């Protein structure tokens, strides 16, 4: 793989050291390592180890500088054929995120601390996978940044034990003990608390030297002066040495007898603890944040509460006075390092996450409208699963249609959204939910303004659909909707063709009723003394309210029931709750008394019921697609719509339509007031087609 790490600078620090360590490991394992930063003292060492370094001003928050860096980073990604961009800080993360949006590289982040909740920090939670350096940072990203826990990977910082495995000198009877503190000179590190504790230690053990390694932040240059003044007030000036920033940390630790970490706020991790333990130095630390994950109290070190001066002093004295106990802490700590915190552990875990990010694929299919259209999409869902067998595939659909795909074996989950909620707040909330799925691809089979907008707001890198004048410009990959006379499933496959999926007929629709659905259908038939009847024909008596022109005439349906009844064929009436009055009218007028099941089934119960029919009769509506999915022969009525565009794929079917000048009109109300397209389909002709299909 080709890995690009991006961070503000390459100067001394934990993030910088981790970057170098990982880059060295990647080169050793045969991968390409690219690092982007604003430069620094560690660049020479990085390049010496075989990595490629590019200098970009990714340490500046200036918008125009960042915008320029985005385009330059895109060029680097393409030039080096980068697979993964791994951002380790916020400004570089924004540059990397926007560059990855326009390239094929996968965007990832590592979270090294407690970021502010400002929007600018949110980008650290937008990686396809988010690496946290400790459990507490992982929890922080989940709870405060809303990162789904399934996308968080805990990879602790590591220590290169070979750097700290130095010989420790033998201490003579009169040699002073050496206590070390390492960290930036900032109030967060608790230096005043540490110095006051050391004053108590010196009262008990005067033969102690204290070295403070680290320097003040440029934002608070006088903080060091305040600490020096405090040592004077405590009377310990001759015992304390402020050493500034040092590059010889391993050598300084090798001479130390105890390391103290006195941080007073939650610590993200505490890498200096590992370095001290690797060097054979026992540690006393405050019980804050990720420190508790490293140190097992009384086993691998000693923990004290923040600002508890007395407890810290006693812990240090215990280590200095009980050298056998101190040695046991070091032994156990080094065992834990070998088990969890070596450079090899960190690098292998990170490389595993890289492979996971590259190989994993999150796909969303959008199909929000009518039940029948969602049934039609089942062929596309199957094709997607065959093309991407290991992908996580989710379907965004309406509450009414969600039942159709909940049992679909080709998808991993269903996301429900009511398409009637088109207000900006509802759309924004849904887009927030979609972004939590870290989508790689969105296949928009709905192809309207709402679905195209949701596709765009999901922040998926690749979005597919029709460029049909309905916000199609928001799609990254689109095709013109310029072929109207095409079967509905084939029409969907034109979009899938953009993903390399060919339309290879015959294709079929599918539905997945449960055992309970079949039991329910059986109970309905039993209630009409039809439980073991074989010659049954289903009749869908009505289309949706919007499409009254699709409905067959009432008198035709009555006569058809009687014609089939004369051949000892029982008819079962299906439909929605709105159709119950019509169904009762049909039953009252028919001599054969068909069974009335209108309004008594959901979509899967209907599928189970239709599966018991020898033939199913329906206008162009959802039940026709259900029958197709259940492989039941159909007689389909088409009047105001075109069967070429709307007929589902079936193996045995009779498509009935009248070739009139006004048809297809695609109107919900007959403009010439005759309804001839449906009226001229006679019950005798339908009965004849039913008998042919049954034979």
Question: 625 and 682: one domain?
Answer: yes
Q: How many Cα atoms occupy the beta-carbon half-sphere of 264 within 13 Å?
A: 13
Ordered DSSP codes for 107-167: EEEEE-S---SSGGGGGGG-SSSEEESSHHHHHHHHHHH---GGGEEE----B-HHHH--P
3-state secondary structure at position 522: helix
Q: Is the same domain home to 324 and 382?
A: no
- How much is the average pLDDT of 99-114? 93
Rounded Cα distance, 263 and 188, in Å: 6
The separation between CA 504 and the C-alpha centre of its own chain, rounded to angstroms, equals 31
Q: Is the pLDDT confidence value at 484 over 90?
A: no
Distance CA 31, CA 238 (A): 52
> How many other C-beta atoms can be found within 10 angstroms of the C-beta atom of residue 234?
17
Render pLDDT for 170-222 as a digit per residue (tens, 0 to 9).
777 778 999 999 998 999 899 999 999 999 999 999 999 999 999 987 778 88
Is 578 part of a structural domain of the chain? yes
Structural domain ending residue among the three candidates 154, 182, 204 = 154
Do 600 and 666 belong to one domain?
yes
Write down which residue in 154, 179, 213 finishes a domain. Answer: 154
- Closest C-alpha to 405, from 519, 521, 492, 512: 512
Determine which of 171-185, 514-528, 562-576 has the lowest per-residue pLDDT on average.
171-185
At 661, is the pLDDT very low, low, confident or very high (cuts 50, 70, 90)?
confident
Alpha carbon distance 54, 147 (integer Å): 30
**190 near 151, Cβ under 8 Å?**
no
Nearest to 464 by CA among 358, 389, 366: 366
* Residue 348 within any structural domain of the chain: no
CA 156 to chain centre: 22
% pLDDT > 70, the chain: 100
Asked, as a colleague might, if the bond just before 614 is cis with ω within 30 of 0, I would say: no
Collapsing DSSP to helix, strand or coil, 93 comes out as: helix
Alpha helix ranges (H) inside 337-470: 343-359, 371-376, 378-387, 402-406, 424-435, 449-457
pLDDT tier, 674 (very low <50, low <70, confident <90, very high otherwise)? confident
List pLDDT tens digits, range 577-624: 999 999 999 999 999 989 999 999 999 999 999 999 999 999 999 999
Per the structure, the complete domain to which residue 141 belongs is given by: 2-154
Angle at 578 between CA 574 and CA 582, to 5 degrees: 65
Contact 40, 11 (CB under 8 A): yes
pLDDT at 117: 87
**Under DSSP, is residue 330 helix (H, G, I), strand (E, B) or coil?**
helix
Q: Is residue 352 part of a domain?
A: no
Boundary (domain end) residue, out of 120, 154, 188: 154
Locus of tokens 């996308």: 151
- Planar angle of CA 44, 45, 51, nearest 5 degrees: 90
| 312 and 423 belong to one structural domain | no
**The pLDDT of residue 144 is above 80:** yes
Question: Are the beta carbons of 647 and 636 closer than 8 angstroms?
Answer: yes
Note whether 495 and 411 are same-domain residues.
yes
- Alpha-carbon distance of 44 to 49, in angstroms, equals 9
CA distance 492 to 486: 10
**What pLDDT, on a 0 to 100 scale, did the predictor assign at position 165?**
86
The helix (run of H) or strand (run of E) holding residue 365 is strand 362-366
pLDDT in tens, 593-603: 899 999 999 99
- Chain mean position to CA 549: 44
Residue 349 is assigned to a structural domain of this protein: no
Domain-located, residue 464: yes
Taking alpha carbons only, the member of 284, 277, 292, 270 closest to residue 320 is 284
Mean pLDDT, rounded, for 471-494: 91
Lowest mean pLDDT among 65-79, 370-384, 446-460, 542-556: 542-556
Predicted confidence at residue 366, as pLDDT, reads 97
Q: Does 121 fall in a domain?
A: yes
User: Please, which residues bridge with residue 130 across strands?
Assistant: 109, 152
- Computed over every residue of the chain, the mean pLDDT equals 93
Length of the chain: 695
Q: Are 149 and 142 in contact (CB under 8 A)?
A: yes
Are 186 and 331 found together in one domain?
A: yes
Alpha-carbon span 60 to 57, nearest angstrom: 6
Whether 535 and 614 have beta carbons less than 8 Å apart is answered as yes
| Same domain as 679, residue 538 | yes
Cβ pair 610, 625 in contact under 8 A: no
Tokens of 209: 């030297």
- Any domain includes 451: yes
Question: Over the Cα atoms of the chain, what is R_g?
Answer: 36
Contacts of residue 576, Cβ cutoff 8 Å, sequence gap at least 6: 542, 598, 599
CATH number at residue 77: 3.40.50.2000
Claim to verify: residue 470 and residue 442 sit in the same structural domain:
yes
Residue 571 sits in the same domain as residue 648: yes
Tokens of 82: 């980068």
Residues 602 and 469 in one domain: no
Do residues 487 and 462 share a domain? yes
Same domain for 662 and 545, yes or no, is yes
Residue 558 predicted with pLDDT over 90: yes
500 sits in the region (left: phi over 0; alpha: psi -120 to 50; else beta) called: left
Report how many domains make up the chain: 4
Distance, C-alpha 505 to centroid of its chain: 33
Residue at 355 is within a domain:
no
Q: What pLDDT, on the 0 to 100 scale, is given for residue 660?
A: 84
Predicted local distance difference test score (pLDDT) of residue 515: 96
Q: What is the DSSP letter of 25?
A: H
CA gap 410, 394 in Å, rounded: 9
Closest-CA residue to 58 (of 101, 85, 91, 34)? 91
| C-alpha to C-alpha distances, 76 to 84, 507, 509, nearest whole angstrom | 12, 44, 46
- Cβ atoms of 123 and 145 closer than 8 Å: no
Note the pTM of the prediction, 2 decimals: 0.82
Q: Is the peptide bond before 506 cis (omega within 30 degrees of 0)?
A: yes
């Amino acid at each position: 793989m080709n890995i690009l790490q991006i961070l503000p600078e390459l100067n001394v620090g934990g993030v910088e050291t981790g970057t170098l360590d990982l880059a060295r490991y990647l080169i050793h394992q045969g991968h390409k390592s690219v690092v982007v930063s604003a430069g620094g003292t560690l660049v020479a060492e990085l390049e010496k180890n075989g990595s490629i370094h590019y200098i970009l001003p990714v340490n500046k928050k200036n918008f125009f500088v960042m915008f320029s860096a985005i385009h330059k980073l895109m060029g680097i990604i393409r030039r080096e054929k980068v697979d993964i961009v791994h951002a380790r800080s916020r400004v570089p993360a924004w540059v990397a995120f926007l560059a990855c949006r326009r390239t094929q590289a996968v965007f990832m982040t590592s979270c090294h601390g407690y970021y502010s909740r400002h929007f600018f920090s949110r980008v650290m939670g937008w990686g396809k996978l988010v690496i946290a350096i400790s459990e507490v940072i992982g929890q922080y990203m989940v709870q405060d940044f809303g990162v789904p826990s399934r996308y968080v990977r805990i990879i602790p910082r590591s220590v290169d034990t070979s750097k700290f495995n130095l010989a420790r000198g033998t201490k003579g009877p009169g040699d002073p003990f050496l206590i070390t503190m390492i960290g930036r000179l900032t109030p967060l590190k608790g230096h005043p608390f540490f110095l006051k504790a050391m004053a108590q230690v010196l009262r008990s053990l005067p033969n102690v030297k204290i070295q403070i390694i680290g320097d003040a932040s440029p934002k608070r240059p006088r903080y060091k002066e305040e600490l020096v003044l405090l040592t004077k007030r405590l009377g310990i000036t001759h015992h304390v040495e402020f050493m500034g920033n040092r590059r010889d940390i391993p050598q300084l630790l090798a001479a130390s007898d105890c390391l103290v970490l006195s941080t007073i706020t939650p610590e993200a991790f505490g890498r200096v603890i590992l370095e001290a333990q690797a060097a054979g130095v026992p540690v006393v630390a405050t019980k804050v944040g990720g420190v508790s994950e490293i140190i097992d109290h009384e086993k691998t070190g000693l923990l004290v509460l923040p600002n508890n001066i007395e407890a810290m002093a006693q812990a240090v004295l215990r280590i200095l006075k009980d050298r056998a106990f101190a040695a046991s802490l070091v032994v156990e700590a080094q065992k834990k390092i070998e088990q969890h915190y070596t450079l090899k552990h960190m690098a292998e875990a990170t490389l595993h996450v890289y492979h996971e990010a590259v190989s994993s694929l999150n796909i969303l299919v959008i199909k929000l409208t009518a039940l029948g259209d969602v049934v039609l999409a089942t062929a596309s869902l199957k094709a997607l699963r065959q093309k991407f067998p290991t992908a996580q595939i989710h379907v965004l659909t309406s509450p009414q249609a969600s039942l159709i795909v909940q049992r679909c074996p080709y998808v991993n989950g269903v996301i429900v959204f009511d398409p009637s909620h088109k207000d900006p707040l509802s759309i924004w909330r849904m887009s927030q939910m979609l972004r939590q799925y870290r989508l790689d691809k969105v296949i928009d089979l709905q192809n309207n303004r709402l679905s195209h907008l949701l596709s765009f707001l999901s922040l998926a890198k690749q979005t597919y659909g029709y460029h049909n004048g309905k916000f199609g410009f928001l799609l990254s990959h689109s095709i013109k909707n310029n072929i109207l006379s095409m079967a509905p499933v084939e029409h969907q496959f034109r979009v899938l063709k953009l993903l390399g999926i060919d339309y290879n007929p015959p294709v079929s629709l599918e539905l997945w009723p449960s055992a309970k659905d079949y039991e329910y259908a059986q109970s309905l038939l039993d209630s009409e003394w039809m439980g073991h009847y074989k010659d049954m024909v289903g009749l869908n008596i009505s289309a949706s309210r919007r499409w009254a022109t699709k409905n067959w005439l009432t008198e035709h349906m009555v006569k058809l029931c009687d014609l089939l009844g004369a051949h000892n064929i029982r008819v079962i009436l299906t439909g929605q709750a709105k159709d119950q009055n019509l169904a009762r009218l049909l039953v009252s007028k028919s001599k054969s008394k068909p069974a009335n099941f209108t309004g008594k089934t959901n979509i899967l119960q209907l599928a189970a019921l239709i599966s018991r029919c020898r033939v199913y009769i329906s206008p162009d509506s959802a039940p026709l697609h259900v029958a197709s999915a259940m492989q039941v022969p159909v007689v389909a009525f088409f009047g105001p719509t075109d069967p070429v565009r709307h007929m589902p794929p079936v193996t045995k079917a009779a498509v009935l339509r009248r070739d009139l000048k006004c048809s297809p009109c695609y109107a919900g109300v007959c403009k010439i007031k005759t309804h001839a397209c449906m009226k001229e389909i006679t019950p005798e002709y339908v009965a004849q087609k039913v008998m042919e299909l049954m034979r």
